[in-house]
Amino acid sequence: MKEQRHLPALRAHIEQLLNKGWVIASRSPLTLQNGHRCYPVSHGMLISESTSRAA
pLDDT tens, residue by residue, 11-24? 999 999 999 999 99
- Sign of the CA dihedral running 44, 17, 24, 50: negative
Q: What is the pLDDT along the chain (55 residues), one digit of tens a residue?
A: 676 778 889 999 999 999 999 999 999 989 999 999 999 999 888 888 755 455 4
Q: For residue 51, what pLDDT is reported?
A: 55
Q: For residue 25, what pLDDT is reported?
A: 95
Domain count for the chain, please give it: 1
Q: Is residue 35 part of a domain?
A: yes
Q: For residue 31, what pLDDT is reported?
A: 95
Q: For residue 16, what pLDDT is reported?
A: 96
Q: Is residue 27 part of a domain?
A: yes
Cis peptide before 40 (omega within 30 of 0): no
Domain that holds residue 30: 21-48
